[in-house]
Structure formats: structure tokens, C-alpha cells
Structure 1
Amino acid sequence: MINKRLLVKNLLAHNDENSFYDKKRFVNIGEKEGKAKFLKHVCALANSNPVNNSFIVVGVEDEDNEIVGTDFFDDSKIQNLVNAYLDHAPLISYENVPFPHLPEGKVVGLVTIRSTGKLCSLRRNIWKYYGGSVFFREGSMSMPRVFDTELRDTNSAVVAEIELHAQNNIELTLNGVIDFLYHRHRDLEGHYKVFKEQFVVCWAGIVKKVNGNRNGGEEKTYYSRVDIELINEQVRLFYSALDEVEIRVNEHVFSTTEFIQLGLNDHQKYYPLETVTITFNDNGSYKIDSTLIFDPPEYDRKVLYHVYNTNNVLLQKLKKGVPLTVREQKDMENLPATYLICALNGFDDAREKLEQYREVVKAYDRKVYASLKESLRVLRKVKYN
């Protein structure tokens, strides 16, 4: 069982960027350029390593390998994205690896790429890359190649040794549980569960008992400020400072159902977004399945036009540095959520507005910016489902 934090450290310590490893300060698959570059690197790494894993480490400074972290990224639909744009797409996973010195909500992203053994290429045009293009790694660069596209195994022994030195042990597991429960989340209600005598899952959050219309009168337990981690592999499975989560556990399965709060003005309601089920097997493996169960609310078109135009005016004022009134400040707090409702109801430009004004909102208020990122996360889930 590989400890992903050790794997990241070994990659950074012993290797510069090469044909099986790349590092990035951040990735942005919300915009066409960022998506295209990410797909290019995935294609090149898969072709350059046809029989072993390749890696992209996200949240690292390029010059000195300083681990600065990146936002938690929900990867549940990233395989769908790769399958949509690449022929002979590799198997790909994006894991969020916590490091003790990083601020709350920041992690190191670890992208693991496993080739199918066949030549990978772009299926269709994206940004400035043409459909049918083939990429390979040349040193630290992902370059297009027309000739000499034969797949060759050159890194199996090196990658196998790096992964061997990242194996987990009892000491690391115990230290991870203690750190999670008694240091990082000592102010929250925390739990742990051992599955199949091998896997340890820890979770923590603010507990709320609910007995109402949301669940037909039956009392259930929900968590907010949720953090869930698979300790053995040092992988953060879920993190959210805003949404509410229901957790179910038995001897074989750890399951979460995420709820998001949506509405206009004071008419708010919780909607189930996604269920993630982790099934642990007797043979020392596990499988993660995610199911989008979101049924977005529908609103009157005229009302949404008013909301959408109001939001556009607010963003323009922020961009120009015009002070907001008290009422506009209140509207600004709800702007990401109301843009989300507009986007879910056919206002295609609403998502582009959220992406376009990220930095403006970030400079205005960190709390509103956190809500903006959550809205974009929901839209990404819906888009790639």
C-alpha cells in the first residue's frame, strides 16, 4: 500500500521533471487553454510510459520544489474528461494529499496516469491543438510528434523503485490517525473506522441532528466542515467548509452523500448532490464509485433574468472599484449561489462570469470567493457527469 505523501516527497527529492513525472503550480481545467494543456501532458506521459505509472504533482513551485499547495479538487469526473478528448485514454486519478504545514483546505494534487499500452492521441480539436495529435515527453517538455511514435518502455525499474520506497507502515498509519483526530481536528467531532484489517478511514466535522421534511421525519446525522481521509495512503477523500454531508458506514463500505443549499432570498433548501461509495475488498483493494443524484431546482425565467443582470452589475462595480451599498453587499454574498442557479437553468454565460471574475471576487472577500469555488465545483460535476 503506497503512502502518497511519501511518494510525492520521493518524486520531488530525487527527480527533476522527466518522461514519467511533471510538476505544476496549479492546473485549471475550467478554461479551454488550461484543459488543453492538461490533456496534452496526460497524453505525453501516457505515451512515454506504456507499462508503468506516470505522475503530475500539483501545488509545487517550479524553481525550488517548494510545496505551496493548491485547492482541494474533486476528481470524480476527471476520467470522463480524459475519455471525452483522448483516443486510447489512460486510466487517470487525481488524489488530494494533505501536508501538515499547508493551510486548511490546501493540499498537494497527485495525478496518476496509467497507459492502456496503446498510442494515445487527441480525439478532437481543443484550443490550438488539432485532433489526431500525438504527444511524447522530451526531457521536461510535452512535445507533438509526427514520426517515431513507437511506444517504448524505459522507466519501469525507476518508477518501481520510487513506489517501493513509498510503502506505508504501522508507524505512519498510527501517526496519521493521531494527527487527524487530536491535532488537526481537535475542535471537531472525529471518528475512525478500520476496514478489512488494513484500511483506516478518519472523518471529522460539526455534527447536526435533523428531524424534518428533508428525510421524512426520521432523525439523521449530518456533518458540516467535513474532512475525510484515507490514512493508509495519506489521501484526503473529501473536504468542504460549506456543504453538509451524510455518512454511512458498515463493515465493508464507507459512503457519503453530499447536500448543497440553494435558493433565492430567504427561500433556501438542501438538495442531494452526489453519493460516493468506497467498497473495501478482502484482497487488499478498494473501489470508489460516485453517482450524481442532483436534480437542480427550476425557477421563473423572468426572476432569473433580474438576478442575472443584478449580478453582472455588481461584478462591474467591483472591477471598477465602485463602493457597494449595504443591500449590494448582501447580494454579493449570495452572488456565487445565484449565478449557480442561473447556470443550472440555461444561462450559459453564468459559469463564464464566475471564471472570469475569480480574482476580482477573491480580492473583495475570501468568504464569497470560497462560495464561488464551490459553485464552480458543482457545475464541473454536472458538466462531466
Structure 2
Amino acid sequence: MISLTFIKDYISGFISKFITDVYQIEDFLMINKRLLVKNLLAHNDENSFYDKKRFINIGEKEGKAKFLKHVCALANSNPNNNSFIVIGVEDEENDIVGVDFFDDSKIQNLVNAYIDNPPLISYENIPFPHLPENKVVGLVTIRSNGKVCSLRKNIWKYFGGSVFFRDGSISMPKVFDIKLKDTNSYTVAEIERQASNNIELTLNGVIDFLYNRHKDLEGNYRVFKEQFVVCWAGSTKRSGDKTYYSRVDIELINEQVKLFYSTLDEVEIEYTENTFSITEYVNMGLNKHRRYHPLERVDISFFDNGTYKIESTLLFKPPQYVKSTLHHIYNTNNTILNKIKKKLPLSNIDKRELKNLPNTYLICALNGFDEARTILEENRWIIKDCNREVYDSLKECLRILRKVKYS
């Protein structure tokens, strides 16, 4: 086990050097995203550079349309600075209640598909101490490309070509006097400056991660470029010369950002002097014939100028099955769902099949049964009320389908 004194001495040393160097880099700030969220929430009323939501659902057409509308409006209202959407906050009292960890590295692809002149966009998962381990605050950061962005095609009740701007706390369509104006640069820069990181926050973050939140797991940390600290923890399993992790939590401590979280999948972690890589595997198959398939590789590259870049590569090759077998499974799943909707009792066989229902619908969706994904989306709340464990599996399956769709 790594000693607490060693961690403090090592991190204090590299952060002291970082603090000296940072003031030699013009306009550089390493932002603590948890502080940033708090500073944004201090502006109780939503405005032209910031919006807050209890949750978003980009899996359904209405939720996707509303999300794209807000992205478009915030980008157009802030051509020269970042704008933000904070997710997991009760609107009335500003209470931070959190949402599920949302792993969607393809969200830029979604925006590119539906918006002309799309802004740069990122979704980050921000842990808060009072939230359960599987809950975070979602932070969407939007950066305009300096041009007016508009919807590329019809979606829900919004027409292709629509242009949105922020009118106070509301995203509104605009059909005349469409001109980008910079009114928030100073305010946003000041909010970001107040959220800059420091030695105490980084030290506390590392110690809390290793010794409080994950004291029952094997924990590790790695320092990159004398500036960035990545911590990870999980249950380990060794196969040959490789180590795999389950119950995985990975954080970029400096910015208080969860890079990965899963209680279900297995992960392989590799690193060099300048990079940290995560390869995720998903357990899929029919009946007892399940095996781990590589899903996605995420490479984080750290640079000498205090910046980093995250790139993801989809590795997934869906397993293929005989259509007649899948037809039987698909019809069985539909029958079980109909029983649940009608509140009819499930047989012991039905209950066993229910545990595999999300996984088998996923396999059907990946083998040409296009309605399988829609069925999962439309019945997620029914399944949540019926069986929470099955619901957690369903969310994982929808996450995989999102990645495949937008890659």
C-alpha cells in the first residue's frame, strides 16, 4: 500500500513546480470542475451562458431535440467564450441531487449530425462528496466556432434551419437580426478563474480517492508532465502479464472529473510517460456462452504546455447469431415485457429470462432487429420499477448502442 506521507511529499513537490510554471504561461488555468459547477450555481438564475437541468435524455427524440436546441442557443449567445449546462440540479432550490454517470464520448458526433456550424462540446462527470458513488453532476461545456449555428434537419417539433439564442434563461428561436454578440466574456473568464486549482484541492482529492472512497479496492495513481494526477481503483484480476479491473473508478484529480466508472464491465489500463489508456470490455453472449468483447479504447495524451487531449476509438465487433434463434428470443422478451405491463405474474422461467432481457435485446439490435433499441428506450422506467438490477443492465446496453450509433 502506498504510504500517505509519500503521496503528500511527491505531489507537493510536483505541484509547487507547477504553480511556479503556471504563471509563465499566458491565459493558462487548470480548472477544478467541481468549483466551476459551484460558481455557476451561485448565479441562481439561468442566463445566456449557463443552463441547469435535473436530467437530460438524449435517447428519446424529444429529449434529444431539447438538448440540441439549448446547445445551439448557448453557442450563438456566447461566440467568444465557453457556455455551460449543469445536469443533476433541482431547479427550484439549486439542490445538487446528481445523475447517473454518463459515458458518451460520441456526443460531439451527435451535435455534428444535427447542427450546422457545430460548436465544440464535451460532457464531463463531476463527483461531489455528498452524492452516492454512482452519482455525479454532469457538466456540458460548449464552445462556439464563431459562426451562427442552426439545426441541420427536422427533429421533434423543431424545423431544420432553425436558429436559437438565449433570452435570459430561455432558449428561443430567432428569425431576424441574427448576429453574434459578445456580452459574457469577462463574466465567464472570472468564473473560470475563481475555479482554478490549487495544491490543497489536489492533495485532498488524491487522499480522499485512495483512502476514503476506495479503501476496499486496489488503488493507484500516476503523475503526468509534473502537472496532472490520474487516480484509479478497482478489483483486480491478472491473466498472464495483463491486469484487468472491475468495479472501476478513474478520475483526473486536478479537474475533479470522472474519466470512467462502471460496476459491470472489465477494463484494461495501460500508461506511458505521456499517455494513459483505458480499454473497456463488455460481457455479451447468449445463455451460458458469454465472453468479453473489446468495446472502446480511450487514450489521454498529456502535453508539456499543460494541456491534454482525449481520443476514443470504437473497437466493438458485435457477435453475430442465426436469425431464427434471435427471433425466438426477441418474441420471448416481448412476451415478458407485456406481462410486466399488464401486471401479470412471471413464471420462474420468465424471471430467469428477465435477468438477460437487456443483453438479449442488445444482441438483437446489433443483428438487425431495429425495434429492439426503441423497446429498451420506451420501457426503461417500467423495468426500473420491476427490477433495479435489470434496469442497471439496461442502461449499460443503451450506452453501448449510443456508442455504436454515433461512431
Shorter-chain TM-score: what band?
over 0.9
1:121 aligns with 2:143: no
- How does the TM-score come out when normalised to structure 1? 0.97
| Aligned mate of 2:374, from 352, 367, 371 | 352
1:81 aligns with 2:107: no
What letter is aligned with 1:134?
V
1:202 aligns with 2:224: no
Alignment match, 2:26: none
What letter is aligned with 1:51?
N
1:165 aligns with 2:194: yes
Alignment match, 1:316: 338
Contact map agreement 1:274 1:290 (CA 8 A) in 2:
yes
1:264 aligns with 2:293: no
Contact map agreement 2:104 2:402 (CA 8 A) in 1:
no
1:15 deviates by 4.1
Alignment match, 1:330: 352
1:368 aligns with 2:390: yes
Alignment match, 1:150: 179
1:327 deviates by 1.4
Partner of 1:5, secondary structure, is: helix
Counterpart CA distance in 1 for 2:247 and 2:360 is 22
- CA deviation map 1:268-322 (0-9, x unaligned): 1110000000000011000000000100000000000000000011111111111
Alignment match, 1:178: 207
* Counterparts of residues 1-385 of structure 1 (less than 5 Å): 1-210=30-239, 218-385=240-407
Partner of 1:119, secondary structure, is: coil
Counterpart CA distance in 1 for 2:203 and 2:352 is 46
What letter is aligned with 2:141?
T
Alignment match, 2:3: none
Structure 1 runs (4+) deviating above 3 angstroms are none
Partner of 1:242, secondary structure, is: coil
**What do you get for the CA RMSD once the two structures are aligned?**
0.7
Structure 1 regions of 5+ residues with no counterpart?
A: 211-217
Counterpart CA distance in 1 for 2:392 and 2:193 is 38
Contact map agreement 1:75 1:93 (CA 8 A) in 2:
no
Structure 2 regions of 5+ residues with no counterpart?
A: 1-29
Matched-pair identity in %: 74
- How does the TM-score come out when normalised to structure 2? 0.92
Contact map agreement 2:114 2:153 (CA 8 A) in 1:
yes
Counterpart CA distance in 2 for 1:131 and 1:177 is 47
- CA deviation map 1:61-101 (0-9, x unaligned): 01010000011111310000001111110000000000011
Partner of 2:42, secondary structure, is: helix
1:219 deviates by 3.4
Alignment match, 1:213: none
1:324 deviates by 1.2
Counterpart CA distance in 2 for 1:183 and 1:204 is 12
Partner of 1:14, secondary structure, is: coil
